[in-house]
Structure 1
């Protein structure tokens, strides 16, 4: 048992237990509003946009970010923020192309778009890819969180896995997507309060002024966030962040049911877009704070080595000795983890019911029947996720690494499926499926026989997939005479033909048209680059 766990104490346990009970109570309150499957999947359209936006932010900032980002910057310096610079570009693309298609269709599963554009096989394959990859990534988050909880509290990893799963499962089963969103709001608050206290304490405890520490850190190359070298094997270059990770994060926010589903809860398309815009503007500040903490920890500890860099923030919090702080940090870690897990449970249950159970097995049941099925599938996926989480306990880390790499093989396929759907006239389902297979093989070869950094797998897979899919479609099915209604050009033409308004409350409903605020977000992206350059240059 770690020294931190031995000194966890009654006050810290009380804070942690109060947080867990609060989540369950909120789930119980919200369960009274869930009477149909639609309520479980997409709510009653009464959730404010800012709550959805906070939920979007909280879901992606998992326990791995809360603990891992400072640890990463401790080793690699501010250059590690390069992978997070692309959010403004990603959000502009997602709200311009993806959200209009999903909101206009009124569906619960975003993969239904692929069936309308290409055919049922494409939808089924994408749904399976999502379920498998999400189960593996959720298990990794669960395992990593359990390790931290063991380090903080002393309870076993096995017990932590079970407890975290049960708590997230119960309130998700009761309250559906509404419980996911509102618990995420609370969890985001706890996460940021915990991080803010640590940041303040770190600055307060520095042995030298922060300005002097930054000068010393600059001399060691820790403050340069914009590494411009062109090296395919390096992960933290500007080009990796702006090109490769932009494409990667488009799949995270545009083609991932877990992320997109909460926007379907919004009252209007404007609210859906605003919820994503929050991430576009907020992500830089959040990640900058965590990365800055990392390099300041490097100064504070004199660059000493840690067996596990993820424990740096925990070690500091324990040494600081503020009563109740470790309980708050434990709650923050759980909050970060459960905001990802609850979203995974709900979205996987949604896909299981809408894309498989209802589509292939029980087509004409009542909404109450599908609600019961959704809750059963939520339980099933929670049990399934626990299995690989337990498998990680006995591994040396290699299984986790292999599964993470395999999951990245599919990212290019997901991106290219939607990209071809939006912009290609001649791509057909048969050609697309050939491209998906060849793209997967190409990425597997690159990953196993070269040193190319993993963020580039998405770009490589997408390029191969698009080229092969388009060519195979022409060979197998020939040129198509008309644009699909579910392409960008097809949708614009359909809006004109039906004499529909392309705007609602000042926001574009039709895909492909850029909202004015998107230009501000693009300008903000360039401001962040200038800021990071100045941050290093003016020290």
Structure 2
């Protein structure tokens, strides 16, 4: 990066972190302020904080690469979001707000018992600590390429920065900082999208670029077919996505903690409903950047592999001759591909349908040659290092940013990606700390401490979970497409937890339908083991795990309750 990029990064970073610290400097003086803030957040701060928590660096690094490689069908993942926001706002939030809970899991003890509360809290701690690691790993990928630093060192640096201001200001520091972070992120992505289109060949119209993307299968936003093992279609997105989003926004403390600080019930609802309306077009726009990147790289020679460190490792291990041969073959295949794309454009201009179909088939054949050559390279990478990650989708957008954006804007985009990670990680650390202290430590380990004791324990827990996230982040860098990894991880746990919460809400409305607390505990434990096994087998798309886990918990809880009723009680 240039000196101007570093200046931009330094100024924007100082402004955002300083603002968040200043706005929340009093929040660390009491336990309630530290964990919930001052309960004075307006709807727009809630909405931006909720979006920033969900839209991590994983979103802005990995989603364009997802569209580049697999098209825009990932947008179907969010089809269930508006319905989930309506359900959470209408049913779940009023209970949390009236009971003034610190965590979502505290609510469960009212209707079941301590062991159910602690179990769901522990499931959250396990899942969210791993997700926080992925949030740190995403920007570490960015800086490792730009700075040529080892990933582990960058993981430590990012973890220390996030942990520092989360410890200093607590929940309110996170929410206030996220407001400016989200503005920076959205501005950076808007500029990036404009510049991707700007860098397309001048003689190519926007409509022709859309045709190229469409003929290549990159604008396939809707798929009405049904298959249990298909990750993204209308049904998995609408049904499985509904259960996942309902669990994430209604039971995940990293989100619940963001809106519990709202100044009123109506402000909280408005903030969440705005998120439900805004998130789909936002994700559509980010995916569209990836589709246009694909068009750009039909006219500009792309790297044979977007992760430069993998190529450098091959050269260092003595594979220069093999790499040179693969690179030469890739250049020849790209030249054929570019010719077929140009023929497609000419056929589109003359409206010759027969020529369009012929050019499209030639383009697909050339693309098949390119993928075969990439397959040879990934085989070579695995041969040189069996544990190497051969998925380079996370580097596609980064490559364009670092190679084609002007000085200053590179710094802004990198800052946006960093802050996307920091905002998500800060929310996760705050939620992990609050849940660990409030639902586990205070409830089951040290119940009679003073407020000052629990305040200090909360700050220590932020540091502990920050350390855990940094350690796990090193493993997360070996995963494939990070946006899929983080959602797959959540889907393993969310269905189980959501099922327990829905049982509690049913109990709150219909006391006659209350299952026994012991039955709920064991049904949740058994379901979690079963869902993890189904996920390991990989025969069901991860979005469906949320629905299956939820329904399994609820059915098992009632069956076990009936079985427990049939066991004769001991005579006293």
Give TM-score, length-normalised by structure 1.
Answer: 0.83
In 2 relative to 1, CA 441–291 (structure 1 residues): closer, same or farther, beyond 3 Å? same
Is 1:285 the counterpart of 2:281? The answer is yes
Report the equivalent of 2:496.
Answer: 413
Equivalent of 1:452, from 537, 540, 544?
540
Which stretch shows the higher mean deviation, 350-359 or 187-196? 350-359
Report the equivalent of 1:11.
Answer: 4
Give the CA deviation at 1:364: 3.9
Larger Cα-atom Rg: 2
Give the CA deviation at 1:170: 1.2
1:130-141 pair list within 5 angstroms = 130-141=124-135
Give the CA deviation at 1:297: 1.1
Report the equivalent of 1:227.
Answer: 223
The answer as to whether partners of 1:428 and 1:477 remain within 8 angstroms in 2 is: no
Report the equivalent of 1:241.
Answer: 237
Distance 1:170 1:263 in 2: 22
The answer as to whether partners of 1:62 and 1:336 remain within 8 angstroms in 2 is: yes
Report the equivalent of 1:441.
Answer: 529
In 2 relative to 1, CA 306–417 (structure 1 residues): closer, same or farther, beyond 3 Å? same
Paired residue secondary structure (1:290) = helix
1:378-527 pair list within 5 angstroms = 378-392=462-476, 408-423=491-506, 425-477=513-565
Report the equivalent of 1:487.
Answer: none
1:291-310 pair list within 5 angstroms = 291-302=287-298, 306-307=305-306, 308-310=392-394
Is 1:251 the counterpart of 2:221? The answer is no
Is 1:342 the counterpart of 2:426? The answer is yes
Is 1:166 the counterpart of 2:169? The answer is no
The answer as to whether partners of 1:26 and 1:171 remain within 8 angstroms in 2 is: no
In 2 relative to 1, CA 409–313 (structure 1 residues): closer, same or farther, beyond 3 Å? closer
Deviations 1:465-522 (A, max 9, x none): 221111111221379xxxxxxxxxxxxxxxxxxxxxxxxxxxxxxxxxxxxxxxxxxx
Give TM-score, length-normalised by structure 2.
Answer: 0.78
Deviations 1:368-395 (A, max 9, x none): 33222211111111112212123445x5
The answer as to whether partners of 2:58 and 2:482 remain within 8 angstroms in 1 is: no
Distance 1:289 1:183 in 2: 24
In 2 relative to 1, CA 93–468 (structure 1 residues): closer, same or farther, beyond 3 Å? same
Paired residue secondary structure (1:236) = coil
Paired residue secondary structure (2:442) = helix
Distance 1:65 1:252 in 2: 16
The answer as to whether partners of 2:66 and 2:481 remain within 8 angstroms in 1 is: no
Report the equivalent of 1:482.
Answer: none
Which stretch shows the higher mean deviation, 422-431 or 268-277? 422-431
User: What is the count of residue pairs matched by the alignment?
Assistant: 471
Report the equivalent of 2:34.
Answer: 40
Give the CA deviation at 1:286: 0.6
Deviations 1:366-421 (A, max 9, x none): 3333222211111111112212123445x576999999856533221111101112
Give the CA deviation at 1:23: 4.1
In 2 relative to 1, CA 160–123 (structure 1 residues): closer, same or farther, beyond 3 Å? same
Report the equivalent of 1:55.
Answer: 49
In 2 relative to 1, CA 384–461 (structure 1 residues): closer, same or farther, beyond 3 Å? same
Give the CA deviation at 1:333: 0.9
Paired residue secondary structure (2:182) = helix
Distance 1:279 1:400 in 2: 19
Which stretch shows the higher mean deviation, 427-436 or 89-98? 427-436
Distance 1:51 1:32 in 2: 18
Distance 1:14 1:375 in 2: 32
Distance 1:206 1:402 in 2: 31
Give the CA deviation at 1:361: 3.9
The answer as to whether partners of 1:140 and 1:400 remain within 8 angstroms in 2 is: no
Report the equivalent of 1:260.
Answer: 256
Distance 2:27 2:138 in 1: 33
Paired residue secondary structure (1:317) = helix
Is 1:79 the counterpart of 2:167? The answer is no
Unpaired runs of 5+ in structure 2? 307-391, 508-512, 568-572
Is 1:355 the counterpart of 2:351? The answer is no
- What's the C-alpha RMSD, in Å, of the aligned pairs? 2.3
In 2 relative to 1, CA 477–149 (structure 1 residues): closer, same or farther, beyond 3 Å? farther
In 2 relative to 1, CA 396–42 (structure 1 residues): closer, same or farther, beyond 3 Å? closer
Give the CA deviation at 1:37: 0.5
Is 1:145 the counterpart of 2:139? The answer is yes
